[in-house]
Structures are given as structure tokens and as C-alpha cells.
Structure 1
Amino acid sequence: MAKFVDKYPEYKKMHVNVSKHVTLVTEMSKIVEERKLMLVSETEQELACNGGQVAAFEAVTNLLNNESVSDIDRLRLVMLYALRYKKESPVQLMQLFNKLASRSAKYKPGLVQFVLKQAGVDKRTGDLFGNRDLLNIARNMARGVKGVENVYTQHQPLLFQTMESISKGQLRDVESISIILCILSGSSAKIILVMPQEVVIFIVGGTTYEESRSVALQNASNSGIRFILGGSVVLNSKRFLKDLEEAQMIARSSTAVI
């Protein structure tokens, strides 16, 4: 009894903390179920990581027709589809535009068209979806054969590949992230490229939580290089869409003035 009395304050504190965690998890599970976020997230991952335009169109269409899917989730799905399949399926994309216009009270296809104008396939220089470069295609095929542990975390941001290339000394502009040492020995000189111990990555426009996770995983791999991530803001989808809307308004104003 004496031991119980001594430990009761600690037990009560732990009980309160557990109750808070249970309440929080319960509420989060409720939101996830109500908005069908597991289905939405799986489709987003498939759009970003795997090919198959027909299956992607069917999945996005089904979610647009689902009454439980929110407007912002509908917009995000159509935006991802448009970024990947604009040239492959313009007819189907127009069908999704019409569906989004009829289902979403706030977000209209004009925002999707604006992001295509800014970052569509004609504007991008990098291999965003890993379907141009032969090495990226082979990597995606290997990942498909081996499978992934979690379908909801199969996407890796471009930053992850960049950090891997830096760690292996395979970045194309290796001089930009290396320290050049000139060692003098008598009348001769020897130049040595030394990989840095720390690399600071700053993303103008904002960094994401997924990129932050990738940096943490890369640092935990003990590659010998410590990466430090920074950005003008920390982005989530709501913040990104807000910034996109503001950019669209500025573009309209500039056009009106001209």
C-alpha cells in the first residue's frame, strides 16, 4: 500500500498523458475515415510513383465522385494527374476539369491550368516523375519488382536522390559541393577534392515535411556528411495552394495592366 501511495502521482500523470494520446489518435482516425484520406493518399502515391494512365484516370474519377472527399483533396488529385499525364491524355484531363468544376465549390480548374503553365512538362527541366532518364526508369522498375514496405510512403522527393548523389560524390557539379585543397610539396603542387562534412540546403519558395524526413533519414544513415535543411517557409498543401492562388492573382493583375 505504501509503494502504491508513493507511485500514485507518477501513475496519475502517465494516465493523463495516455488519455490525451488516445483522444488525439481517436480524433485523427475519425478525420481520416470521414475524408477517406487513406484512399486519397494511396492514389496520390500511385500518381507520383507508378505509371498506368488508365488506372490513374479511373482512380481519380472515382474519388472525385466520392461525396466524402473534400474539395482540397479533389483539387490535389486533379493537379497531380495533370502534371503527370497532360500530354498523354488531354481528353481525359478535360473530363477531370469538368468534373472538378461541377464538384468543387471553391477550387476551379483554372488553378490547375495555372500550375501547368508554371510547372507543366514543357516548363520542367528535371525528371520529376523519373520517367525520362534511363537510370530513373530502371530504379522505378526495380522498386516495383521488390515492392515497398508501405504504399503510403513509396514516394521519395527529388532532394533524396540529390543527397545520395552528393554522399557518393556523383553529383554532376561536384566542384560546387567539394573543397579544393592545393598541397604544395617542394616545387610541385597536388590538387585534392575533399567532400564536405556539412551541406546546407536552402529551398526558396518553401520546403516540405517529406523533404525534412528525407534529410533526417539521410543523416541517420551515417554517410559521413551532415545535411542541414532550410527554406523560406515550411509548406503543406494548404499553404502551397494559397501561394499558388496569390501568384495567379498577381499574374492576372500584371496582364490587366499590360
Structure 2
Amino acid sequence: MNVIQAVKQYIAKMIEEAGQGMKVLLMDRDTTSYISMVYAQSEILQKEVYLFERIDSANRENMKHLKCICFVRPTKENIELLCQELKMPKYSLYFIYFSNVVSKSDVKVLAEADDQEVVREVQEFYGDYIAASPHMFSFNLLGCSQGINWSPNKLNRVCAGLTAVLLSLKKCPMIRYQNSSEMAKRLAENVRQVISKDAGLFDFRRTDVPPLLLILDRRDDCVTPLLNQWTYQAMVHELLGIKNNRIDLSGVPGISRDLQEVVLSSEHDEFYANNMYMNFGEIGSNIKELMDDFQKKTQSSKKIESISDMKAFVENYPQFKKMSGTVAKHVTVVGELSRLVSAKNLLEVSECEQELACQSDHSEALRKIKSLLGNERVSEFDAFRLVALYALHYERHSNNDMAALNEAMLRRGVNEKYRRMIRQLLEYGGTKARGSDLFGQKNPISQARKFFKGLKGVENIYTQHTPLLQEILDLLIKGKLKESSYPYVGTSQLRDRPQDIIVFIVGGATYEEAFAVYNINKSVPGVRVVLGGTTIHNSSSFIEEVSIATQSSIGAIPRKHPNSDSRSHSNANRRW
């Protein structure tokens, strides 16, 4: 189960079916992101695709010498744009691919618009999602809920995206959901309805153990997205922000023009692929090794004394240039992370966060938070997060202590919208909203969390926390996940140990959870897990999610530092 490979194979199949000759790739806003996540532009150029255009662009030229590969979502807007395109075609031939199921009525409308008979292919290729890594996907949707219910139109979008993931991975799963979440339940039922309605699309070869789709709700674990992170990928997202693999470094002091935006992709950057789950301490030494290796290679390349030396240098120059770009990029990113850690006193802040998440020494927690609230190096947002974590952990504790922290935030000058957000966070993911007991000892998951921590022995104080998802998956794999808490949709139940598991978190997943899934895939033989979410959160986007869900009047919380087989299913192929 590899979502990047699934989308890549769809794109490769589209280009292959268009045949030889110069081609243009016509996309919408969403599919542009889908493709850019899995293919570098240079890779597609090698496949004779020389032009990349948006279907909603008004300034495209007529280029009748080009074939057009059109990959768009089957939305009403895109159908209208395609009809306009086909009535006055700018290219010689059109190969149209929809990223999800398209209605017969829309296909008929397109056929009627094709007066000049330029369309050669219309198919459904189910790459309707952002493939963030081989085992993680997202829909880049923020604010999916209003109260405890779905926001208008978001349920249909998420259901369509999730069924596209299943189709691209060729999985017809049993479905379980978090019983305490009405949103998880509705999504599970809707996915089951789509599978029943389009049974022909989901008619894959049966396996001995059916795949499993598990739908969870972010409200059950509000701690994970509030924590500072110390593995490379998660830390970059937390402090700089990752959007479709791109990092905005324009706000970094003294940044050079060519490094104001950089791309971090495990598919196209070997150093990043090897280090994305390393902790910050290891990254520093690995960056030094990368620089030393680069310096050795460039020094040896300077010894040009003959024609053969010149030839060898020219042949190796692209590799030197690529390595130079990799070194410059990662040195810049890690340097900025290091600056922010120091400037914001994040080592001390993170230690306190971890203790709030994993330990229960109330008086010590209170003392440390008050001390950090008085430290001017601690940012306003980090001060708010510490109090938010305290409020989640000690929600049923004395109101006097919470009042004292509110008073300390007021003295510190923390903005009123952050102080009001504490109440909204408890409304969103407090004890009444959660199905799990994150900090107590009342259910098997809490016991599992204690067990996990006991196994670790001497812990890194900055990485004590394990996300709730890790323990849920552990219980699921061992057959101990309670059906009363995570019921099945329908009467069928999985009796064997699950092998292929797709987990989806309504309200967004995190890179810490992706790291947990990566470790499970690596350490548990025979089990393959893919994680998805409505979006991929860092702490600021999560607080924005909470703000939207609780219909806050405080306004959006400002972000921190700027920043499988690809063949189409036979019964889904549609031609004129």
C-alpha cells in the first residue's frame, strides 16, 4: 500500500496513453497539487510533456501542434470549463481523465460539446488526494466541522476523496469507526453506501484477510497536534510550515533569493528521505557529514589535467549541482530551526509540554508553567499552548489554579483571543467531547499508553509522548480494540489479525502520527498501515481548526513563522 506510487502510476498511464509527440498537461488547482507531490517537473518533461496549464487560466494560447492530457476533478465548474474548451479547442487532441467518479449526465454534456471530435479518451483515474508520503495522504481541507457536525459540502468531498484512496489502492474494506464521534459515524456510513452503490468498481480480487478502514476523530486526541516536535519532518512543519512539500523561508533573516522557497520531498531528495524521521540532534551531525562528502567530491573534481578529466567533470557536473542545492537547502533549513529553538526557548518549553502530556505531577506542572509564562523569550503562542495542555490534562482540577494561569497570561500580555481559545479547546476536545481517557487509567487504551511508556526505559525527555493513534493501532492489530468503542458498519466482522489498514482522522492528522505509522510498518511483519486526514496539522493550523469548529468569534489564529497498479478499472473506463 503506497499512495505515492498509486498516483504516480495513474499519471504515467495517462501520458503513455497519449502516445508519442509533444503534449500539454491541463489541470485544475487541486490536481496541480496532486501531481506536483509525486512528480518533479523535470521527470514529466522527460515524458514529452512540455507545457503545464491550469484549465481556469484565461490566457492560454492556441497550440494545435500539442496533444492535451487533461486531469481534473469532476466538479460542476470543471465540467463547464471543459465544455467551453471543447467548443473552441486550443490543442489537437484531448485525453480527459477525471480524478474521481464522473456522472453519466456530465459525460453526455461533454460529448455534446465535442463538435470537432477532438476527444480521444475519457476515463476515471482515482488519484483524488494529496499523497504526502508513501503511507500518508491528505485532502488539505481545514475546518470540516461546525460544532459536532460536518460543515456543508465537506462530508461529500471527504467521502469522495476517501473512496478514491480505496479505489487507487484497490481495497474494498470492512469499516470501523469511533463510536463517540457522530462525524466519524456519518463518514463511515457514507463510504459504505458508495461502496454498495458502485459495487462494480470495488470488485477486486479477494484476499484471505479483508482490508480494514478505521475512521477516527481528531477530538479524541487534542494533545498530539499541540506539542512541539523534534523529528525533522514534523519539526519543519511545526516551526516553518510545509504546504504541498514547499517551505516558505522568505522571512528568514539574510536569506538568499534562490532559497526563499524550498521543496522537501522524500521522492526527490535522498538526504530528506533518509533523515525525515531522525531527531534534531542526529540531523545536525548528518548535515555535517553531507557537507564533508560534498567538499571531498568538489575538491577531487578540481583536479582537471587532461581531456578525460574535463569529460568526467562535465558528465558529473549535474550531480555536483544537485548535491550543492541539497546541501544549501538543508543547511539553511536546519540553521533556521536551530535559530528558532534558541530564540523561543523551545527546549525548556518542550520539556514542560512533554511532562504535561505524559506525567501527572500537578504542582510541578503548575510551577513550571508559571515560570515559563514569566520568561520573555517564550512566545505568546507557546505560552498559550502550555496553558492549553494544562487545561486538557487537569480539566477537572481546581478552578482556582486555572484562574491563576489566566491571570498570569493576562499579566504576560497574551492576546485575549488566545485566552478565550482555552474554553473553545475544551469544548472541542475536553473530557465531554472525547471517547478516550487521554490521561487517566479507566480504559484499555490508557493502560496501553502506560505499558508503552514502561517499555521505553530511559526516555528522551523531548519525545516521551506517544500519540493515541499508536495505542489504538496496537490494540487493533492484537485484536483487543473494543467493538463497543469502535464498532463495524454492517454485520461483517474481521476475525483474523488485520493486514492492510487504512486509518482516516476526521479533523486532521499530524506528522507525529505519520512517524508512529512508519514505525509500525517497519516493526510489525505482515501489517501495512496508511494514514490519512482531512489535513495535516501543525499546532497553529490545529488551533484554527478548533476555532472554526467551535464557531469562534475571535477570528483566525495567526500562523507562526511563515512559511499498487495504475491501470484503470475496466468497468470504469468511459469513451465517447
* TM-score, normalised with respect to structure 2: 0.38
CA contact (8 A) 1:162 1:171 kept: yes
| 28 and 88 in structure 1: CA distance in 2 versus 1, 3 angstrom threshold | same
Residue in 1 that maps onto 2:520: 218
* TM-score, normalised with respect to structure 1: 0.80
Does structure 1 residue 75 correspond to structure 2 residue 377?
A: no
SS in structure 2 of the partner of residue 194 of structure 1:
coil
CA contact (8 A) 1:180 1:193 kept: no
Q: Runs of 5+ in structure 1 lacking a partner? A: 182-191, 253-258
| 55 and 194 in structure 1: CA distance in 2 versus 1, 3 angstrom threshold | same
| 73 and 119 in structure 1: CA distance in 2 versus 1, 3 angstrom threshold | same
Which protein shows a greater Rg? Answer: 2
TM-fit CA distance, 1:53: 0.3
Which has the larger helix fraction? Answer: 1
Higher RCO (Cα < 8 Å, 6 or more apart):
2
The within-5 A match list for 1:6-45 is: 6-7=312-313, 9=317, 10-11=319-320, 13-45=322-354
| 94 and 19 in structure 1: CA distance in 2 versus 1, 3 angstrom threshold | same
Residue in 1 that maps onto 2:270: none
The within-5 A match list for 1:175-194 is: 176=488, 193-194=495-496
SS in structure 2 of the partner of residue 152 of structure 1:
coil
TM-fit CA distance, 1:148: 4.0
Does structure 1 residue 196 correspond to structure 2 residue 498?
A: yes
The within-5 A match list for 1:109-258 is: 109-133=419-443, 136=446, 140=450, 143=453, 147-173=457-483, 176=488, 193-249=495-551
1:11-41 Cα offsets, whole Å, 9 max, x none, are: 5653453233223222210111001111111
Letter in 2 for 1:143: K
CA distance in 1 between partners of 2:518 and 2:344 (Å): 29
Q: Runs of 5+ in structure 2 lacking a partner? A: 1-302, 555-576
Letter in 2 for 1:100: M
Letter in 1 for 2:473: M
TM-fit CA distance, 1:161: 0.7
The match for 1:98 among 407, 417, 424 is: 407
Identity between Structure 1 and Structure 2 (%): 37
Letter in 1 for 2:468: L
Letter in 2 for 1:171: L
CA RMSD of aligned residues (A): 3.1
Task: Please identify, of 100-109 and 10-19, the stretch whose mean Cα deviation from structure 2 is larger.
Answer: 10-19
Letter in 2 for 1:53: H
CA distance in 2 between partners of 1:12 and 1:134 (Å): 54
Letter in 2 for 1:238: S
CA distance in 2 between partners of 1:248 and 1:18 (Å): 44
| 31 and 129 in structure 1: CA distance in 2 versus 1, 3 angstrom threshold | same
Task: Please identify, of 193-202 and 227-236, the stretch whose mean Cα deviation from structure 2 is larger.
Answer: 193-202
CA distance in 2 between partners of 1:204 and 1:135 (Å): 19
> How many residues align structurally?
242
